[in-house]
Amino acid sequence: MTEGPTPSAADSSDESSDEFKFRVVLLGEAAVGKTSLIRRFTENSFDEDYKQTIGTTFASKDVSVTDDEGQTRQVRLIVWDMGGQTTYRELRRQFMKGSSGAIIAYDVTRPETFMAMNNWFESFRETCPNAAVVIAANKVDLLDSRIVPVEPGLMLRDWFQADYYETSAKTGAAVTDVFDKLGKLVLRQARAEKKSSEM
Ligand code: GDP
Ligand code: MG
C-alpha cells in the first residue's frame, strides 16, 4: 500500500485518462476489515495481525468494467483508507469529499459495527449525495462467531438503496465482486452526470 497526502500524488505517475479514474473510500468502524479488504483487492494477500491504520493511505488498482453499452473499460479505483481518526466530523468530511463511491463495511461478528452503519451512510450521503455505495458484510468466514445474519444486511441494502455483499478479506470471498461493482457504479454515475451537464 502506498502512502500519500493527496489524490493527485497517486495520479501523477500514470497516463490513464481522468475520465476513468475515481476516488473511492472505505468506511466503517475500527477493525471491521477495511484495510484488509483493500489489501486483498490490491495485493491479493491477508494478514491475521491487527495493525491499526495510522493516518490516511491509499492504494489503486484497475478493474474491468462492462458498461451499459456492452463495452469493456478499464476503470482505475483510487481507494482511500482513513485509518483510526474517524471521530472528528470535519476530518471525516474532508476525507469523503470528492469521492465517487464508498464501500461501507461492518463485521458480522460484532453487532455494534452493524449498528454504526447508518451513521457512516448518513455522513457519506451528506458529503457526497450522488456517489455510489456498496455494503460489505465482512468476516463471513467466521461461521461460529457470526452474530449478524443476512436479513438485517438486506434491510440495510434496501434502506440505503445500495448493493450488498457478504465478504471475507481472509478467504477473498466476494472481494473482487465488491470492487468490480463499485467500478461499474462510479462509471455509470460519472457518465450520467456528464450527460446532464451537456444538456
Ligand atoms: P480496519 O481497522 O477496518 O482497517 O480493520 P483491519 O483490516 O485492520 O482488520 C482488523 C482485524 O480483523 C485484523 O486482525 C484482520 O486480520 C481481521 N480481519 C479482517 N478481515 C477479516 C475477515 O474477512 N475474516 C477474518 N477472519 N478476519 C478478518
Ligand atoms: Mg485499517
Q: What is the mean pLDDT of residues 136-144?
A: 98
Which is more confident, 52 or 72? 72
Q: How far is C-alpha 163 from the chain's CA centre?
A: 11
What 3-state class would DSSP assign to 134? Answer: strand
Of the pLDDT bands very low, low, confident and very high (cuts 50, 70, 90), residue 17 is: low
Domain that holds residue 148: 2-198
What pLDDT, on a 0 to 100 scale, did the predictor assign at position 86?
Answer: 62
The C-alpha cell at 194 is: 456528464
| Binding site membership of 50 for ligand 1 (Cβ less than 6 Å) | yes
Res. 91 pLDDT band, cuts 50 70 90: confident
- Expressed in angstroms and rounded, the spacing between residue 156 Cα and the centre of ligand 1 is 21
Distance, C-alpha 1 to centroid of its chain: 15
- Residue 92, pLDDT above cutoff 80: yes
The finding on whether 153 has its CB within 6 A of some atom of ligand 1 is no
**Element at 183 (helix H, strand E):** helix 175-198
The total domain count for the chain is: 1
- Identify the band that residue 13 occupies on the pLDDT scale cut at 50, 70 and 90: very low
pLDDT band at 88 (very low <50, low <70, confident <90, very high): confident
Q: If you ran DSSP here, which 8-state letter would residue 69 be given? A: T
Given a contact cutoff of 8 angstroms between Cβ atoms, the answer to whether 97 and 128 are in contact is yes
State whether the beta carbon of 113 lies less than 6 angstroms from ligand 1: no
Q: How confident is the model over 59-67, as a mean pLDDT?
A: 94
The pTM (predicted TM-score) of the whole model is: 0.91
% of the chain exceeding 70 in pLDDT = 89
* Res. 108: pLDDT tops 50: yes
Helix axes 175-198, 34-43, angle to 10 degrees: 90
CATH number of domain containing 85? 3.40.50.300
Distance 57 CA to ligand 2 centre (A): 9
Q: What is the pLDDT of residues 177-188, one digit of tens each?
A: 999 999 999 999
What band does 3 get if pLDDT is binned at 50, 70 and 90?
very low
Task: Give the C-alpha separation, 20 to 36, whole Å.
Answer: 25
Torsion angle of alpha carbons 113, 115, 116, 117, nearest 10°? 100
